[in-house]
């Protein structure tokens, strides 16, 4: 069976690896460098297990920038292209997904199209009706950045949504779920087949709940700071309740990264005229947390604020929609002098802020060091560090 995977990001590459253990897979991307690295056995993204599989496992996988070659004679095309949220359109930009579907319709119209990109609720049903293509389904991803392949090899569940409940489409959905199960290491993976609009809703509501949990513990931490309480003690006492659980509870400067910011805003947009309070509060809470953090930093009246890493977490190679960047913008509005240490930034300046390459010089010049997540290389200047990372202690 030939499977094409559109997009060599962390979603596309992790899916390509899982499927290429037992199938012929061609991964296609517009980025020549990414395709070259994959063909050289090198991961273009930071993910230990992806690198291990590319380097040492037998995979029937190759990468290309030629979409015609990738889609020709494909039995399945898995769409994993990015869909960023755009405020102006009040929703996701699905143009990359639209483009893949158009190309597949021209090259291999009988192929099963599996949309894994996050899309607005109702998108798959709409495309199914408008294109007239016989086989389009939606299968949401629940992957953590930096652990995408691990999550696909040990999935919490596999969900596939069909736009119309027909015997043929349900069979195709079950077939694709079986391919993902066969490539997983975990046994007895729960599979759910549902309507595509329901599956799209699952994706957005799941990520919004995670954003809610982040926001809750961030607001708990805000309260503890304002009242002079030990935030860690309060969180420990709260999370000992088994109904709450001791996980996803380490305060931060706000939720960020690939998924949570855009998915919460998209879900809020999908509510439209439907009554709600919680969803908008989650979106607003993130902005409030960043403002509170910026105010706390400015209250210390530092001469120079050092921003340690723009990325959201350790071992991440992504700082898209990072809460740290939001804080730098708030500080810039008050003309706070800042410097940045971020190895991922190659330029001398990032949004007008000087980027230092030498960590020792960065530490020396910083009066206060702002770190969303603490790191061992900051131990020697820990008295300078402002962080809400409660689980990196002596």
- Catalytic positions, please? 259
DSSP 261-309: HHHHHHHHHHHTTS--SHHHHHHHHHHHHHHHHHHHHHHT--SSEEEE-
With a CB cutoff of 8 Å and minimum separation 6, the contacts of 315 are 46, 146
Per the CB < 8 A criterion, the answer to whether 93 and 56 are in contact is no
In the block, which residue shows the tokens 């290429």?
20
The helix (run of H) or strand (run of E) holding residue 369 is strand 368-370
How far does CA 149 lie from the centroid of its chain? 13
Q: Which residue shows structure tokens 């949401």?
A: 140
Q: How wide is the angle at C-alpha 106 spanned by C-alphas 62 and 9, nearest 5°?
A: 35
Return the closest-CA partner of residue 212 out of 297, 192, 322, 220: 220
For residues 347 and 246, what is the distance between their CA atoms, to the nearest angstrom?
40
Residue 335 CB partners (closer than 8 Å, separation 6+): none
Q: Quickly list H helices, 7-120.
A: 10-20, 32-39, 48-56, 67-71, 95-107
Helix orientation angle between 278-299 and 260-271, rounded to the nearest 10 degrees: 140
- In the sheet with 112-115, reading across from the earlier edge strand, the strands are 61-64, 24-28, 2-6, 76-79, 112-115, 136-138, 158-162, 191-195
353 touches 336 (CB < 8 A) = no
Residue 125, token pair as written in the block: 């049903």
Strands 112-115 and 191-195: unpaired
| Residues sharing a CB contact under 8 Å with residue 110, sequence separation 6 or more, in sequence order | 134, 135
H helix or E strand, kind and range, residue 130 = helix 123-131
């Amino acid at each position: 069976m030939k499977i094409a995977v559109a997009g060599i990001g962390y979603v596309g590459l992790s899916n390509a690896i899982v499927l290429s253990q037992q199938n012929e897979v061609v991964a296609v991307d517009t980025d020549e460098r990414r395709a070259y690295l994959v063909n050289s056995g090198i991961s273009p993204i930071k993910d230990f297990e992806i690198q291990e599989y590319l380097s040492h496992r037998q995979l029937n996988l190759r990468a290309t920038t030629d979409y015609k070659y990738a889609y020709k004679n494909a039995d399945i095309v898995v769409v994993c292209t990015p869909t960023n949220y755009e405020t102006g359109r009040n929703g996701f930009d699905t143009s990359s997904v639209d483009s893949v579907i158009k190309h597949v319709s021209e090259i291999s119209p009988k192929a099963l199209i599996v949309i894994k990109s996050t899309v607005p609720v109702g998108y798959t049903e709409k495309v199914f009706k408008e294109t007239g293509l016989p086989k389009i389904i939606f299968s949401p991803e629940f992957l953590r950045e930096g652990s995408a392949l691990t999550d696909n090899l040990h999935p919490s569940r596999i969900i596939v949504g069909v736009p119309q409940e027909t015997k043929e489409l349900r069979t195709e959905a079950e077939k694709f779920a079986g391919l993902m199960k066969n490539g997983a290491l975990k046994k007895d993976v729960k599979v759910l087949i549902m309507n595509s609009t329901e599956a799209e809703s699952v994706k957005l509501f799941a990520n919004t709940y995670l954003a809610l949990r982040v926001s809750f513990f961030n607001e708990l931490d805000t309260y503890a700071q304002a009242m002079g309480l030990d935030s860690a003690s309060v969180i420990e006492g709260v999370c000992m309740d088994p109904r709450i659980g001791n996980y996803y509870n380490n305060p931060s400067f706000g939720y960020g990264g690939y998924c949570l910011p855009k998915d919460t805003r998209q879900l809020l947009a999908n509510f439209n005229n439907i009554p709600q309070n919680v969803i908008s509060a989650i979106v607003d809470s993130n902005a409030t947390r960043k403002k509170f953090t910026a105010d706390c930093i400015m209250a210390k009246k530092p001469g120079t604020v050092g921003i340690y890493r723009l990325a959201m977490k350790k071992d991440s190679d992504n700082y898209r929609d990072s809460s740290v960047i939001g804080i730098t913008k708030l500080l810039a509005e008050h003309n706070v002098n800042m410097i940045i240490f971020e190895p991922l930034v190659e330029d001398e300046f990032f949004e007008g802020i000087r980027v230092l390459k030498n960590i020792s010089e960065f530490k020396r010049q910083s009066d206060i060091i702002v770190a969303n997540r603490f790191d061992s290389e900051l131990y020697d200047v820990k008295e300078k560090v402002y962080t809400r990372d409660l689980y990196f202690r002596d």
